[in-house]
Amino acid sequence: MSGSRLSIVAGAASGLLFGAGLLLSGMASPANVLGFLDLSQPWNPMLLWVMSGALSITLPGFWLMRRRGRPFAAASFAAPASAQVDRRLLAGAALFGVGWGIGGYCPGPALAGAALADPTALLLLASMLVGAWLADRLHSRA
Amino acid sequence: MIQPLAGGMLIGFAALLLYSTLGRVAGASGIAYGALWGGERPWRLAFLAGLAAGAWLAWGLGAPAPQSPSVDGAAPALTIMVAGILVGAGTRLGNGCTSGHGVCGLARLSFRSGVAVAVFMSSGMLTATLLGILG
């Protein structure tokens, strides 16, 4: 299999597991997310279970891959966008948290809900892309 | 507890599959923005198509459909738009979301991702709790 075809198969397979996992986990329903974030109501620990389940696979898995030294179908692991903790990271994470706390949607669940033609998720996803575009415009001028 | 844990493990396998083959991080926001404005479109578009198919498949096999608030009326629609714009701007500036910094960044033992997760968890809890008390 050629490299580009393999990357498409790997991307599609990963997306398939990701989308199925989002639905099964209950994270596509914003009420479950807000039940975790809103401490003024009886607490819903669901998100903690989802995160624990995911990390139980990625922590040992990524460690093994790091030890192997390189991925199976690429020359090296992609370098992160930046290694620094700077104002941009802190401001971005803080803004994301505020939006997450208002709507109960982070990007993955918004994509999964939009794929199922949920009107709320579609509106959130469209606004999210506008927000990302705006951030690019404003930041390139700063 | 079983379904959230099993669903989380599927997300973990998804992230490990992408990291172990292509060496890429399975961050939902980064893949979506990269598919629109970045390079390496084919695998990113394939991931997004797979995500949609996976959501349909799980739903068809009996996973509960997403329960979302109604956006009938100006106030609820405006609330969702404000939330979406903040999520989009924040994940673009901060280079990641719950999957990129959370599921993958923490597993890479990235200090930067650990800080990002602590900040968005705190601001998310603060926002949701304040709105919960007020509303």
> Tokens representing B135?
């509303």
pLDDT score for B75: 86
> Tokens representing A108?
């993955």
Q: Where are the alpha helices (DSSP H) in chain A?
A: 3-25, 30-37, 46-68, 87-103, 107-115, 119-141
Q: How confident is the model at residue A82 (pLDDT cuts 50, 70, 90)?
A: confident
Question: Distance (Å, rounded) from C-alpha A67 to C-alpha A40?
Answer: 44
With contacts defined as CB-CB under 8 Å, which chain B residues touch A57? 9, 12-13, 15-16
Sort residue A104 into left (φ over 0), alpha (ψ -120 to 50) or beta: left
Half-sphere exposure of B100 (CA within 13 A, CB side): 26
Length of chain B: 135
B70, B66, A36, B7: CA torsion to nearest 10: -170
Percent of the residues in chain A that have a pLDDT greater than 90, as a whole number: 89
The residue ranges of every structural domain in chain B are 2-134
8 Å CB contact between B84 and A128: yes
The residue among B101, B77, B131 whose CA lies nearest residue A126 is B77
Partner A, chain B 12-71, Cβ-Cβ below 8 Å: 12-26, 28-29, 32-33, 36-37, 40, 42-59, 63-71
Cβ separation of A20 and B54 shorter than 8 Å? yes
The residue among A18, A142, A107 whose CA lies nearest residue B49 is A18
Q: What is the CA radius of gyration of chain B?
A: 16
pLDDT score for A139: 81
Shortest CB distance from B80 goes to which of A8, A80, A124?
Answer: A124
With contacts defined as CB-CB under 8 Å, which chain B residues touch A41? 132
Model confidence at A30: pLDDT above 60? yes
Amino acid in the structure at residue B124: G
With contacts defined as CB-CB under 8 Å, which chain B residues touch A5? none
With contacts defined as CB-CB under 8 Å, which chain A residues touch B47? 11-12, 14-15, 18
Question: Which residue ranges in chain B fall short of pLDDT 70?
Answer: none
Gap between the terminal Cα atoms of chain B: 28
Amino acid in the structure at residue A10: A
Cβ separation of A107 and B42 shorter than 8 Å? no
Distance of CA A58 to the CA centre of its chain: 14
pLDDT score for A142: 55
pLDDT tens-digit readout, B38-50: 888 999 999 999 9
**Searching chain B, which residue's CA lies closest to the CA of residue A46?**
B4
Q: How many domains does chain A have?
A: 1
Partner B, chain A 56-95, Cβ-Cβ below 8 Å: 56-59, 61-63, 65-66, 70-78, 80-85, 88-95
Q: pTM of this prediction?
A: 0.96
Question: Distance (Å, rounded) from C-alpha B43 to C-alpha B27?
Answer: 13
Contacts of A36 (CB under 8 A, 6+ apart): A43, A44, A45, A46, A47, A48
| Beta strands, E only, B3-105 | none
Sort residue A117 into left (φ over 0), alpha (ψ -120 to 50) or beta: left
Can you give the residue range of the structural domain that contains A30? Answer: 3-141
pLDDT tens-digit readout, B100-110: 999 999 999 99
With contacts defined as CB-CB under 8 Å, which chain A residues touch B57? 16, 19-20
pLDDT score for A141: 61
8 Å CB contact between B40 and A51: no
With contacts defined as CB-CB under 8 Å, which chain B residues touch A12? 46-47, 49-50, 53
Partner A, chain B 87-116, Cβ-Cβ below 8 Å: 87-95, 97-99, 101-108, 110-112, 115-116
Question: Distance (Å, rounded) from C-alpha B33 to C-alpha A84?
Answer: 21
Q: How confident is the model at residue A1 (pLDDT cuts 50, 70, 90)?
A: low
